[in-house]
Chain A
């Protein structure tokens, strides 16, 4: 019927004496992450739960892969849709393997296939299968439980996943890492994902498209993060974005998308003399980046550190603290940069080998490019491509 994976048509949910969702229509394209964001009580979670009919709509239709699923058996429907909630909800009396196998068991897969799938998923979310499959949820850390929650939702390979504040109950450092991991995973698996959060920064970071819900239980704007940041549809959206919209746009660019700056480096093994001459050959830099045998960055050293002869080179100078991977956003990189002692963030690949550095100039260039990009797109008028976007936010 359409190219859309999920289509919501005039969905309304009314509780006695209270309106929860008011006439929401929306198309969610295949393979995209669509984030529902808004203040408490705006209807974002209710809307999401109407997709798998944990909440039955008062009126309106729901389509999944072109099929009207508003009236089909809800249990059967839910087995086709992955579901992750904030509390994760792993069954404490079941092993990790049994938890992940929940939906395949209901779909009556044979045992061998389930076992293979469980192991595959554990590896996919970065957990050692032989070590974890027989464990119980309480033996895992919060971050590991969250990963198992995602693995469980993906078990039967559903085309669509619903995620209700999946990173909400996790400490900020782990959350950051899990978000990045999830985006990397999504780049491979390309699920259609409906993601609910109340955190606008998370929405901008995670979403291919973002739907902002207002206090009137309607969608205020449904568009790409770039367009929402550069052209908020109304005062509500602008307020909701809060201050620092320019800074938030740094969430939209990843380190791998910018040109890395080379930095003078030296091997720990080559000796102080060679290192000193390498540093001397560079007028612009007063620090040399020491790499170990595996090309992992280890220390920042200056001339003075090299002059001190006592102690090993691996203890000289300053430790390298600001390290980012290519999938990190420029926002992450800037954050690292500011706390770093040399004013730039070292970029390493997935095995930790040195790739280059990002400095403040690279960030500035990226901001300017972003600004230019959205302006151009606005000029050709292609930005209001999504029909259900409410409000016309562009300057006239």
Chain B
């Protein structure tokens, strides 16, 4: 049953070049990317060390000394990360399945409604969402309210990217999959979703950054986070406190973005 045939394919060496063995090898071919991967954390760490040296060299007054303690800062930092991550986990858990559902043909009529709602969530100023939800007869103040507000505010990028990611899958792939007898669910889970992963992850990355930035407002409804420190800096009129809060927040956002970019590289399906 063997057919002898001259292979019209690529030269083996050419194939070797095209092979995408590992994420590492992919990186090695793109020096600009390598710089991004090493440079960002380097900048963040250097700026944090500079901040530390500067603050420890200052003569702190009573108010500064009360707030700029290791314990206080650590607590705010950890709380900030915790709130942002919890919000993002909920965003992914809600937006990805919802996005999958909304790309099904039968959901086409209601799709604009959901996209519209998500748009409204993002269009209203984030501080408005937070204060509105914190009204006593709604959710009241506290961490849960901050998380819900951030979910509403940041869900759009993940929802939209999930839908775009699934919609951009080549219809020929779906036809050939259906033609071989794959069920609709199997096509969604084995073909459409894996191929949408890079776009979905890009949306998650955007949502994470938005969440980390916006979470600084959580301080106004008593939910903690790095906003506490920034706010104290403003209220107490102490630049050292304000700068510490701002540099920590900015660095955290950069680091999270950096981690997300690595995750994108790792979870991107091979062969794309």
Show the binding face of A for B, using Cβ within 8 Å: 52, 54, 75-80, 83, 85-95, 102-103, 106, 120, 123-128, 135-141, 143-144, 149, 152-153, 162, 174, 177, 181, 184-185, 188-189, 350-351
Contact = CB atoms under 8 A, between A and B. Distances in A.
Nearest to A78: B181
Contacts of B183: 75
Interface stretch (B8-16, B27-35, B212-220): B8-16
Interface in B1-21: 1-5, 7-10, 15, 18-20
B270 A93 contact: yes
Contacts of B194: 93
A140 B182 contact: no
B170 A89 contact: yes
Interface in B166-192: 170, 172-173, 175-183, 186, 191
A138 B182 CA distance: 22
A144 B18 CA distance: 15
A123 B5 CA distance: 10
A351 B4 contact: yes
Contacts of B178: 54, 78
Contacts of A87: 170, 172, 176
B127 to A, nearest CB: 42
22 contacts: A75-B182, A78-B178, A83-B176, A85-B175, A86-B172, A87-B170, A92-B173, A92-B269, A102-B182, A106-B180, A126-B5, A126-B7, A127-B7, A128-B7, A136-B20, A136-B271, A137-B271, A140-B9, A181-B3, A188-B1, A189-B1, A350-B4
Contact of A141 (B8, B172, B180): B8
B179 A52 contact: yes
A143 B8 contact: yes
Contacts, number: 114
A113 B5 CA distance: 25
B230 interface: no
Interface residues of B, number: 33
A136 B270 contact: yes
Given A93-B194, A140-B9, A76 B271 contact: no
Interface centre among A86, A93, A103 (most CB of B within 10 A): A93
Contacts of B177: 89, 91, 102
Contacts of A120: 1
Nearest to A77: B181
B268 to A, nearest CB: 9
A185 B7 contact: no
Contact of A79 (B7, B180, B269): B180
B9 A106 contact: no
- Would you list the 6 A-B pairs with minimal beta carbon distance, nearest first? A89-B176, A126-B5, A136-B271, A78-B181, A79-B181, A83-B179
B272 interface: yes
Most buried by A among B1, B175, B271: B271
B152 interface: no
Nearest to A76: B181
